Structure 1
Amino acid sequence: MPLPDSFAAWLAERLGTELVGRAPVGGGCIHSAWRLDLADGRRLFAKTNGAASLPILEAEAEGLRALAAAAGEAGPRVPVPLACGLAGSSAVLVLPWLDLAQGRSAAHGPLWRRLGAALAELHRHSLTRTCVAEDRPGEAFGWPRDNVIGSFPQRNGWEEDWARFFVERRLAPQLEHLASGGHPLRRAAPLLEHTGQWLGAHRPAPCLVHGDLWSGNAAITRDGQGVIFDPAVHRGDREVDLAMARLFGGFPEAFFEGYQNTWPLPSGHRSRRELYNLYHLLNHANLFGGSYVGQSQACLDALLDLGEGEGWG
């Protein structure tokens, strides 16, 4: 979507300086992305979409502010939104520009280790830090408003029991939508039933999590800072972030070492990893179809076969 004619005036009113240059940026599959050059020398980043997408961008802005508040000085860098709203018929989110390093070379290992440690600090600090959006921080799992995972609706609200939250607000909506679209998964009902049992003995603290931490949403900047962005925040088991970071690859092992050395994960996290990542496979099946449907079924079957044989805790 092109920037509207009214965008320059909209931006100047909010940031107090003129727009002197703009250029499209590739990589996004949901929104249009732009590099903005301002008269005061700043370079910014903007996402735009139709007016109907404003709630999605507002939810992203809210999530970024929450992560930044929880991160503090010890956590990862998080781009704090500079403006969000309607410019003419376009929804717009304006963020600081991130000058990202290219690739994930071995030379960046210490920086990724530091980012893993910083994520652990964010998770831990979030237990005692109140985010502006929350009405009961640190007391329950969820978030005050629904948001999205990719472009798929993510159901939130609050729930004191983690197992119930993950079954009813994460797995069930994905399975129901997949079935309504003509791709019901075999043994879906037993999976939901057993998930509640498997997670029943697991008592995680309700940490603020990124929620969509694949390698495309984390990076190292050219000046050596670890940064995370494009979140789908909620309060949940911190293991969900570490699980997704392994799902599609891209994170070096140093990242996980940095996290584990700072705040070790509890026993059983390797078994729970596949369960937590089923949510993201189902989401991809709903968004993209194709082989993700088969991958979701295979993951579901493997979980039931393993869980029924050994049980989880």
Structure 2
Amino acid sequence: MDAALLHAIGKEIEHATGKSLGACQARPVGGGCIHEAYVLVALTPYFVKVNSVARTGLFDAEMDALKAINAAGVIRVPRPLVTGWHGDRSFLVLEYVAMGRSGASSWESFGARLASLHRHVSPDGSYGWHCANYIGATPQPNAASHDWITFWREQRLGFQLKLAAEQGVRFAGADRLLEQLPLFFEGYTPEASLLHGDLWGGNASFTDDDDSTPTPIIYDPASYYGDRECDLAFTELFGAFPAAFYEAYDDAWPRHANWPLRRDLYNLYHVLNHHHLFGGSYRSQAQEMIHALNRLV
């Protein structure tokens, strides 16, 4: 991070907090594939993400979702402080949180807290969000709908399939799958729960507190109101969370008996998005998932 950008970020922090930042330096950290990331070492440390000014919208959307989850008051997120830009660079400043190790009891706490988050439902019962946002770096439409099947067909799977078609990729059986979506929801109408939206192991951790049970913390959300099974399904796509997490979740709010039927239907959205972003083997994985889902119905 150059000195001019660091100075601009420091001024924004001081304006937002009303406190002097003091001497500071930016220490680069790894782990992300979209943004540059830094720990701002100062009297009070902060976590800072940086990207081109063209990506300002990603930071605004992330701040919006973090505020919504934080307002629910049931699970911790890094508190967002400010977004801004300087020259050709944009940035997001977050509370710095030291991460620690987990144990069975901390995973139980995570499961119970996620269930509590999902109890926060859309005020008018509609699915979607008050604005479009992003899943990773991909735009995510969120126009309000009172029909979940239509929402998932048009604004999740259909949108990703359109992106694939624009890249010259078409998936055999995709049209049939979209037509057969109601069969996955017989006897089940999900509540419009507040979702993290991008919940996998890379976007969850535990704080390095002095407590015997570290506090679960989630970050990098792509929030909207939707079926809570979406969050739970994605926790399994790249290696499931420990059993204690799911047991505690189900103790707090049991999942529908047929939820495994919909797991890959929800994860297909993320695999299609990974195909859009990264290509490679995600194309064949998405195709295999479509064939498998069609065989179920």
Give the structure-1-normalised TM-score.
Answer: 0.88
Judge conservation of contact 2:56–2:85 (CA < 8 Å) in 1.
yes
Paired position in structure 2 for 1:119? 114
| Residue 201 of structure 1, CA deviation | 4.1
Partner of 2:25: 21
Partner of 2:105: 110
Letter in 1 for 2:47: F
CA distance in 2, matches of 1:168, 1:139: 18
What is the alpha-carbon distance in structure 1 between the residues aligned to residue 182 and residue 2 of structure 2?
46
Equivalences for residues 160-171 of structure 1 within 5 A: 160-171=146-157
CA distance in 1, matches of 2:95, 2:240: 24
1:122 maps to a residue whose letter is L
Name whichever of 245-254 and 111-120 sits farther off. Answer: 245-254
1:114-146: CA deviation from partner (whole Å, max 9, x where unpaired): 11111001111x12xxxxxxxx73420000111
**1:152 aligned to 2:132?**
no
Indicate the RMSD between aligned Cα atoms, in angstroms.
Answer: 1.6
Give the counterpart letter for 2:25 in structure 1: G
Provide, for residues 16-56 of structure 1, a one-character-per-residue CA deviation record: whole Å limited to 9, x for no partner. 22252221111111111010122xx3111011111111111
Deviation at 1:8, TM superposition (A): 2.7
Runs of 4+ that moved beyond 6 A: none
Q: Does the CA contact (< 8 Å) of 2:12 and 2:82 recur in 1?
A: no
Change (3 A) 1:250 1:203: closer
Helix, strand or coil: the match of 2:47?
Answer: strand
Aligned length: 289
- Percent of pairs identical after alignment? 41
Classify the secondary structure of the residue corresponding to 2:38: strand
Taking the TM superposition and a 5 Å limit, the aligned residue runs for 1:73-112 are: 75-102=74-101, 108-112=103-107
Pair 1:32 & 2:39 matched: no
Shift of 1:83: 1.1
Secondary structure of 2:97's aligned partner: coil
Aligned counterparts of 2:186 and 2:87: Cα–Cα separation in 1: 49
Asked whether the equivalents of residues 13 and 81 of structure 2 are also in contact (C-alpha less than 8 Å), the reply is no
Q: Is 1:241–2:227 an aligned residue pair?
A: no
Residue identity opposite 1:36 in structure 2: L
1:305 equivalent to 2:295? Answer yes
Assess if the C-alpha contact under 8 Å between 2:69 and 2:75 holds in 1. Answer: no
Question: In the alignment, is the contact (CA less than 8 A) between 1:207 and 1:237 conserved in 2?
Answer: yes
- 1:179-194 to structure 2, matched below 5 A, reads 179-194=165-180
The worse-fitting range, judged by mean Cα deviation, of 296-305 and 172-181 is 172-181
Partners of 1:138 and 1:239 in 2: CA distance: 20
* Contact 2:70/2:76 (<8 A) preserved: yes
Q: Which amino acid aligns with 1:216?
A: G
* CA–CA distance in structure 1, aligned partners of residues 125 and 254 of structure 2: 22
Aligned to 1:296: 286
Give the secondary structure class of the aligned counterpart of 1:137. Answer: coil
Cα deviation digits, residues 125-176 of structure 1 (max 9, x gap): x12xxxxxxxx73420000111111111111110000010000000001111
* Structure-1 separation of matches of 2:12 and 2:20: 11
8 Å CA contact retained: 1:163, 1:200? no
Deviation at 1:12, TM superposition (A): 2.6
> Which residue of the partner structure matches residue 127 of structure 2?
141
Structure 2, unaligned runs of 5 or more? none
SS in structure 2 of the partner of residue 83 of structure 1: strand
* Structure 1 spans left out of the alignment, 5+ residues: 128-135, 308-313
Shift of 1:196: 3.5
* TM-score of the superposed pair, with normalisation by structure 2: 0.93
Partner SS state of residue 160, structure 1? coil
- Aligned position for 1:132: none
